[in-house]
Each structure stands twice: as C-alpha cells, then as structure tokens.
Amino acid sequence: MATFPIRLFGDPVLRTRASEVGPFDGSVQKLMRDLMETLSSTPNGAGLAAPQIGILKRVFAWRYEGESGCLANPRIIDSAGSVVDEEGCLSIPGIYYPVERARDIKIAGLDESGNEIEATVSDYKARIFQHESDHLDGILFIDRLEPETQKEAKRILREYLTIGVPPTQRRDVL
Ligand code: ZN
C-alpha cells in the first residue's frame, strides 16, 4: 500500500474520462487499497477517485460517518429528488460552493471483493457518490455551479493557477 500525491486543478488528468476496469484482479484490488490509504491520509476527505491520483480507471474510495468502501465501474442507475449543499474537492483546495445534486440515488458497481452490488443511498453519501462518479468522466463540481457563482469560482481559480498556491494555503501566510 502507498499514499499518492493528489492531482490538483489544472492537471489534464482531471479532465479525462477514465476507462472501465477489466477483470477484477490484483491490480484493481491494489488500486482500491491505494485510494483508501491516500484518502485516509487526508484530514477531511470524504471521497477520492482514481484520476485524482493520476490513474484513469473507473474506481473511487469513500468514507463517511465511520463507514468506508470502494466501488469500481460505478453506474448511477436511478436518481430522485434534489438538494443543495456545500461541496469541496481535494483537487481544488480552498474552494467551497453550494451544488445541486440528486437526493437519492441507486448505484451499481463492484465492491472491494469484486462482487457486483447495488445500493440505494441518500443525502450526503449520495452527494459523495455523485461527485466521485463525475470525476471518472472528467467533470468537476465547479462545472455544476450556477452561472454567476461559476464565474466567481473561475476567477479565483485563474488566480490560483497564476500564483500556483491554493487559496487556503495563501490565506494561511497572510
Ligand atoms: Zn473531487
């Protein structure tokens, strides 16, 4: 097992569609362990998708309220309701905005043992799964903001890319 550096906004790997994992073999299990260990090493990460550690495979890890797990080849097969809540991303440090997501989703995929599972999840856990599934398609949460909010976020991000230091860290050195 190992922890990996988390790729940051501006890295093209975050904008690339990840490919399905093939047979559930040792390499998929290793990727799941690496994702889980890297996620666990962050103070407040609730989810981490493989592209965020530079691996373009459809796998993510999550942890929420004492539970954790991984999902490979996740597919959201049903969704209902809508809820707005604040969201952030380990790849876009220091940026938090309200994002509208489905309240309830039904998701299918392969668990840590390679078993095909189907689960219905709600609220913040459903938000994590939707955010991480987006990462596998090269979509970031800022893409889902209201136009005005998105303009502000993009202005802050342009500044961040120019200076090369995430906003939170910049605030710390004032
Ligand atoms: Zn993210």
Task: Tokens for 24, please give them.
Answer: 């559930």
Which residues are tagged catalytic?
132
Other CB atoms within a 10 A radius of the CB of residue 156 amount to 14
Cα–Cα distance list, 9 to 21, 87, 157 (Å): 24, 15, 8
User: How far does residue 77's CA lie from ligand 1's centre (Å)?
Assistant: 21
Report the C-alpha gap between 130 and 134 in whole angstroms: 6
What tens-digit pLDDT sequence spans the chain (174 residues)? 589 999 999 899 999 999 999 999 999 999 999 999 999 999 889 999 999 999 999 999 999 999 999 999 999 999 999 999 999 999 998 889 999 999 999 999 999 999 999 999 999 999 999 999 999 999 999 999 999 999 999 888 888 878 776 665 544 444
Other CB atoms within a 10 A radius of the CB of residue 38 amount to 21
- For the residues of 122-151, what is the DSSP string, one character each? EHHHHHHHHHHHHHTTT--GGGGS-HHHHH
- What is the model's pTM? 0.92
User: How far does residue 98's CA lie from ligand 1's centre (Å)?
Assistant: 14
User: How far does residue 173's CA lie from ligand 1's centre (Å)?
Assistant: 25
